[in-house]
Structure 1
Amino acid sequence: MQKKILLAGTSGGHLTQAITLFKDIEGMEKIFFTEFSPRLSSMPYRTYSYNRPKSQILTMILATLKSLYIILKERPDWIITTGAECGTAMIIAGKILFRKTIFIETASRYRTKTMSAKICYHLVDKFYVQHTESLQIYGKKAEYIGGVL
């Protein structure tokens, strides 16, 4: 049976980085989760989305509930995120349901921590950064993987 990988990334730069990452992953069934975007219709793999409310608290609640549903339905082997609200929600849901998780800090941030990274750092199984400078601001859990995105 083919392994499943679920990638979560909020629209904009996080989505662009997630799509780039997905193109390089081979030999796994790919599932994608993001907020609704017209770009979703052109994606060549199964996608789930949600309409983002104006409130950040409502966004996190909605995204976490949707994440729980997706994980229970799809049963992914790994969950990967490039951050922001839906990525953080997916990591939280993934940990609740005992899934393996990976966080990849955005390439555009290397001198300060993103809010998603602050939350996910303590939850994920693997935490990757794309700049060596980022290793100094995170702890021992952070691993440098270069500019993958």
Structure 2
Amino acid sequence: MKVCLVGSSGGHLTHLYMLKPFWENKDRFWVTFDKEDARSLLIDEKVYPCYYPTNRSIKGLIKNTILAWKILRREKPDLIISSGAAVAVPFFYIGKLLGSKLIYIEVFDRIDKPTMTGKLVYPIVDKFVVEWEELKQVYPKAVNLGSIF
């Protein structure tokens, strides 16, 4: 199984990194911002840098959509996992078109309100994971697996 882990640097990347028991023995690659925290955390990993800033940026969305098309056609991941933020959107939509399975994890600090990214990808994901039971009122099809932290 080949896995794509896509997310902004900072807390979103940390969230994905905490899933290491799941991804450490799988063929994988990362898509994240080319920032110091990402470079140091993913030093021995295969990483594709994406464009930022992304939040509410049409220019960033267009650039990352083109990037998603190129990377996902080359890598052909079976599974794409993200915890946000906006960079996940083009990777999820292009990934869906290309046949990848999609798992989105709503970030830990959202207890009862959705994120913009969560709202955008919810209709197309194969599994939507929340860490708080209250979020199941917002995302009825979600699965609550508890805290990753």
TM-score (norm 1): 0.90
Q: Percent identity?
A: 34
Does residue 89 of the first structure (1) align with residue 95 of the second (2)?
no
1:35 aligned residue: 33
SS at match of 1:79: strand
2:123 aligned residue: 122
> Shift in Å at residue 53 of structure 1?
5.0
Q: Deviations over 1:100-132 (max 9, x none)?
A: 111110011121010001010001111110111
Q: Deviations over 1:29-63 (max 9, x none)?
A: 12100122123333121000123257711111111
SS at match of 1:49: strand
2:63 aligned residue: 62
Instruction: State how 1:89-108 maps to structure 2 within 5 Å.
Output: 89-108=90-109
Gaps of 5+ in 2: none
Gaps of 5+ in 1: none
2:136 aligned residue: 135
Q: Identify which range, 30-39 or 105-114, moves more after superposition.
A: 30-39
Partners of 1:5 and 1:29 within 8 A in 2:
yes
* CA distance in 1 between partners of 2:7 and 2:50 (Å): 12
Does residue 46 of the first structure (1) align with residue 39 of the second (2)?
no
1:4 aligned residue: 2
* CA distance in 2 between partners of 1:106 and 1:73 (Å): 29
* CA distance in 1 between partners of 2:132 and 2:103 (Å): 17
Give the root-mean-square deviation of aligned CA atoms: 1.6
Give every structure 1 segment of 4 or more consecutive aligned residues whose post-TM-superposition deviation is greater than 6 Å.
none
Q: Counterpart amino acid of 1:113?
A: P
TM-score (norm 2): 0.90
2:16 aligned residue: 18
Q: Identify which range, 93-102 or 50-59, moves more after superposition.
A: 50-59
SS at match of 2:32: strand
